A and B are shown apart, each in its own frame.
Chain A
Amino acid sequence: MNSFLGPLDSSGGVPPRQQTRVGAFLISAHGALARRLAMGTPPTLKFGWQTELHSQLHRETEIATLMMRATSWVADLELAPLCLTWETAWLPKLVEGVVDWSQGLLIDLAALAHAIHAAIRPAVLLPPEANAEDPFVLALRRIEFESSRLIQAQILFLKGPEFVPIRDCVNAAVERRHQQVRDLWETMLESIGVRCA
């Protein structure tokens, strides 16, 4: 097991099998967020916060399409069951202790997005000698950079004053999503010989 992706090829690129697994995982996670945001963003915006939803939708879509194009794909027979596991994990979940189910689903979406943007740090997997001009390398760096901006909307929402009375429920929902995302990410990385530090 290594802490970084590799061994890199002679041009400083990540092996295609590792690219395929990492790319598929990121597309699955960010694609799930994009789908759920698309469902929640109305065709005509009526409130200021919906502007943020619209922005998030397009950033998530950008991440998914970027990975589709930047990844060197190879055939991977194990990918189908893995994708099924990931997609099942991203399904909406009710939040314990929140009576209003629509509010609970919003909290769960924000919790999942917080976890995906916080717990997945693809750029730290790159060894220092990775080719800075390689599309996959650049894409991983860009996703990590964008995630630190995108998470701000979730932080503001989840720490908002309207959730003070149910702060423990919100916190527990976010911690659960963090653990879930972290476990899936680490399991996927272990399957390609990478152990998270």
Chain B
Amino acid sequence: MLFLSGGGHRIRYELRGPASGPAYVLVNGLTQYAELWSGYCDTLVAKNFRVLTFDLLGQGESDKPSLFINQDDQVAAIRTLVDLLGEGPVFLSGISFGGLIALRYAIAHGGTLAGLVQMNSFAQLSPQLLLLGNAMRTGLILGGTSYLQDLLLPMNLSDAWLGPQLNHLEAIKRQGWLINDVYALQNLMDSFLDFEALTDRLGAIRIPTMILNGEFDFLTPRSLHETLRANIPDSALIIIPHAYHAFTLEKPALTAELLANFATDVLAGKWKGGGSVWIAPEEAGGELRLFPSEYDHLRAIPVRKAVT
């Protein structure tokens, strides 16, 4: 476990992998902590990547400012971490709230990155997301971290994943409850509910960008990813079949493979974003398929695209 000072705060991080390899920096979602990426570290390190994981400000063992957490402070912390990695290519990937932070970083410091991965993320708060965020904050206030976990687990994970875990959920929740403090989570939520939309600034992201969205993601549905796909010039959207919001927890082997393939393609000059839309395989080892061009990828039923 290592610590460094970034933007006046102490950040806890871990760095694994060969010193010369291309690097991935993985940014946590709101209620996560760095250890949840351990499966990704194993897979990516085995493919000669360096992997940097860390706790955001307000999470785990990083500093937890008592009253105010600013998204700019999170971006400053990532800048310090990216600087630590030196000259080699760096890929930045974030899930949900971490995706938003990664997006802000890419807008401000895109030149320091070789590529960006957005996973179930957003550039603006839709009315649904705003109201859901407020309801989650109220849930946290009234019921504590444990209630928030109870709320998020069935929203973010599939029956196929939850079914076998039903008798072990308390143990699964315990580490998150131990390591996260209510006031710090609330400060993080406040910083997420109080931000200006980034949509108008997405065009500034000139680096290759892979956008991953769970097929059944309820919290950040397809329309929010369409904003990213339509406005980030060199992007492609990949839909993860049968996945919900927390597909990084549910499908780690598939997601880690997508991350590795994306970086490999970018470094080999083979990446073709072009606003394309793809369907990921069900499991690691399968092939990406192009989403049928005549159908509307924003719909949950097979509706043909309107002719423009």
Contacts and interface: CB of A to CB of B under 8 A. Distances in A.
Interface of A: 114-115, 117-118, 121, 124, 128, 144-145, 147-149, 151-152, 155, 158-159, 167, 170-171, 174-175, 178, 197
Given A148-B182, A149-B142, A155-B186, 12 more contacts: A117-B183, A118-B183, A124-B178, A128-B171, A144-B144, A145-B144, A147-B182, A148-B141, A148-B144, A149-B141, A171-B67, A174-B66
A145 B143 CA distance: 8
Nearest to A167: B68
Which label, helix, strand, loop or mixed, suits the secondary structure of the B interface? helix
Contacts of B65: 175
B35 interface: no
Contacts of B140: 148
Interface of B: 65-68, 140-142, 144-145, 171, 174, 177-179, 181-184, 186
Given A118-B181, A121-B181, A128-B174, A152 B66 contact: no
Contact of B67 (A124, A128, A155): A155
Contacts of B182: 118, 147-148, 151
Given A148-B144, A149-B142, A171-B68, A114 B174 contact: no
B141 A170 contact: no
A117 B181 CA distance: 10
A145 B177 CA distance: 12
B124 to A, nearest CB: 24
A128 B181 CA distance: 18
17 contacts: A114-B66, A114-B183, A117-B183, A118-B66, A118-B181, A118-B184, A121-B181, A148-B141, A149-B142, A151-B183, A152-B141, A155-B183, A171-B66, A175-B66, A178-B66, A197-B178, A197-B179
Central interface residue in B67, B174, B179, B181, by most chain A CB within 10 Å: B67
A33 to B, nearest CB: 16
Contacts of A149: 141-142
B67 A158 contact: yes
Contacts of A158: 67
Contacts of B66: 114-115, 118, 171, 174-175, 178
Contacts of A175: 65-66
A121 B141 CA distance: 15
A60 B252 CA distance: 45
Nearest to A175: B66
Contacts of B184: 118
